Structure 1
């Protein structure tokens, strides 16, 4: 784990107080695609409506890896932004460096503990105090279908099992279409992989193998079957997949060139931005075998310590705006996700979002609400990175056997 020196941490705070102008918030994020950019523009509008100046600090790259590299550089150099998009265990790691602001006064005044599910609230806290504000809940284990492509291939319904999926993929291939739109980046590879593990092994196996990193689960026949299924999916992708951004893969479905995409519900934001209608132009369904489970990704903003009172006020207003019903509704309508704040009316949301909200509540009760490993919600970043690399190596190199992949994943799981 990268560590800030105490000196650098002090420098960060001092520089922040010196550079943050009155009523100004600088926000680092990686929401740069169509649906995402539209969403973040709403937050900017709300902040400007409160009289604050918004400095947009966007770093492209859907998984956020590039943004985190830039953020570390900024903090070490003593010039952090007011807020930065971060999530999962990385929130705790930043907080442990002593550079984050305690937002408890605001959280208590606005009753965040009552508005947020405990599983989400706990992720936003460090040693019992809020240091981050959550924006939304994404379901990761979605599968999207192009109505145009499926109709052309004679696929009548979204597949519920992997056998049905491969049968549909064969029909799409025979129709001259790309069965699976994919972007060859390690977080995209793992987004597919974790849905396969969940679909093949179920919620308990997913928890044991990918969250608890249990050696017995990783070395099991179920993991081998998961890897075999994962490799089979690769054979249905196109030669242009390596390096493709996720939203360009979604565009292949929008254009009717590809049948399926295994991707979180931010993909829906792209369909909606292209004026496509759910249930008509595109279909949503849980990834094969995962109907009764839910892998989640909660976007959030960590808030850095600032000494200037005007900067603190602007930062507090930013956190309050993020949690406001107004922003929660409009942001999630654009982004494709669902509100993290409990009790909001869902009448403006589409059927995919309504299904996601119901499943989020149901799986929380059943014990099959699971953090996404691919999206930084489950394990330490260093371990996550090592496992992602092992899985992507298997995806990209057919010479790597299933047995070798199991060994590499098991070794990566021990990375600290």
Structure 2
């Protein structure tokens, strides 16, 4: 299971409803603690406090949310859950099955969430046909980040296909640059694997493999090809990658030591924090072969049942604020992600975000919008963990057999179902 932040925010938007004389407290359990993430969550806190409510921040750093989920489980079991917690994907369904989540249908109807959100996002935010969580943003996972100055020095061309990617990597390596900045952590290894899978399998077979858990696709020739490509890609990663954090890898591309990084758009927040400009200081490209597809990772706040009426009101105001255009604008410019609202004005966003929103809308309409496996959107945390183990073991074994790895992948997934 994953976790996110407990937020109980009361925000009364005067444009939507009269300002309430009663204020509540919102406690938010989350793991937004890096530079760009911290600025983003500070935005939400300010909007909540500006409405007269009290924000009780409960940030739990580390582990991609595992530590925070442990805290949340303890609080929930003791009957003292936060108003809101950072929970996403299938984990929302697991909490819903426990009967602990509050319904947000009233807020959703008033703000017309059914019209503002793509069906693929609505499915994630609902349990039993009721909204129980509010989406904060949309991250695109299948991005390739490049340093154009490094590419120019190496005589390399930004790649649009996997063959072009390896050709560019060869030129970067020959010119003395690190071709691919990578952090050797299981979730980062699996992010690379996922992007390769999305490109080589295509969105339909990607879904069959990682949402439907179809054994035929998991063990098929295309999946063997994915593992073979992953093995080849490892040859362009430096020997010191083990344990490196993702933002340290981003810094290597930023400071000109490396030419490329495969990472979701949260990497952009690091470039922005350093004052770098999209399109000139750095470029964002759909990972080669995944044009037309969009692997999504959605941060969301699941709302827990509360006994206090003022705090419940604050909780609903929090949900309204999260879905409001002001918050969606400011938060996502800080976080590197894009707004979840399909009607959001993107004129104030950078070129990468504008491209991301256009691709998000197109993919939602053509079947290319698919949930990220590596980031907890496609399958349970048990399946995700099984994939992490197989992928990381394979990635770090230069003698590993791609055919064997595909069989191991299917077996590991079956073992945890």
CA distance in structure 2 between the aligned counterparts of 1:116 and 1:373, rounded to whole angstroms:
21
Aligned to 1:140: 141
Query: So what's the TM-score if we normalise by structure 1?
Result: 0.92
CA distance in structure 2 between the aligned counterparts of 1:324 and 1:129, rounded to whole angstroms:
20
> How many residue pairs end up in the alignment?
397
Q: How many angstroms does 1:62 deviate by? A: 6.7
Aligned to 1:413: 413
Note if contact 1:63-1:375 (Cα within 8 Å) is conserved in structure 2.
no
CA distance in structure 2 between the aligned counterparts of 1:39 and 1:364, rounded to whole angstroms:
26
Q: Secondary structure at the match of 1:244?
A: coil
Note if contact 2:201-2:222 (Cα within 8 Å) is conserved in structure 1.
yes
Q: Secondary structure at the match of 1:206?
A: helix
Q: How many angstroms does 1:204 deviate by? A: 2.0
Cα deviation per residue 1:269-306 (whole Å; 9 max; x = unaligned)? 11111110011100100001111211111110001111
CA distance in structure 1 between the aligned counterparts of 2:233 and 2:60, rounded to whole angstroms:
30
Q: Which runs of 5+ in 2 are unaligned?
A: 3-21
Note if contact 1:193-1:230 (Cα within 8 Å) is conserved in structure 2.
yes
Q: How many angstroms does 1:22 deviate by? A: 6.3
1:213 matched to 2:208:
no
CA distance in structure 2 between the aligned counterparts of 1:118 and 1:217, rounded to whole angstroms:
25
1:304 matched to 2:323:
no
Query: So what's the TM-score if we normalise by structure 2?
Result: 0.91
RMSD: 1.7
Q: How many angstroms does 1:152 deviate by? A: 2.4
**Runs of at least 4 residues off by over 4 Å:** none
CA distance in structure 2 between the aligned counterparts of 1:147 and 1:217, rounded to whole angstroms:
37
Note if contact 1:62-1:246 (Cα within 8 Å) is conserved in structure 2.
no
Q: 1:100 to 1:240 in 2, by over 3 A?
A: same
Aligned to 2:339: 339
Aligned to 1:193: 193
Q: 1:62 to 1:297 in 2, by over 3 A?
A: farther
Q: 1:245 to 1:74 in 2, by over 3 A?
A: farther
Note if contact 1:62-1:245 (Cα within 8 Å) is conserved in structure 2.
no
Aligned to 1:241: 241
Note if contact 1:35-1:269 (Cα within 8 Å) is conserved in structure 2.
yes
CA distance in structure 2 between the aligned counterparts of 1:153 and 1:373, rounded to whole angstroms:
34
Aligned to 2:100: 99
The residue correspondences of 1:15-414 to structure 2 (distance < 5 A) are 23-61=24-62, 63-155=64-156, 157-414=157-414
Cα deviation per residue 1:300-344 (whole Å; 9 max; x = unaligned)? 000111101222122112111111110001111111111101211
Q: 1:334 to 1:62 in 2, by over 3 A?
A: farther
Cα deviation per residue 1:202-235 (whole Å; 9 max; x = unaligned)? 2222122222221111111111111010111111
CA distance in structure 2 between the aligned counterparts of 1:159 and 1:61, rounded to whole angstroms:
33
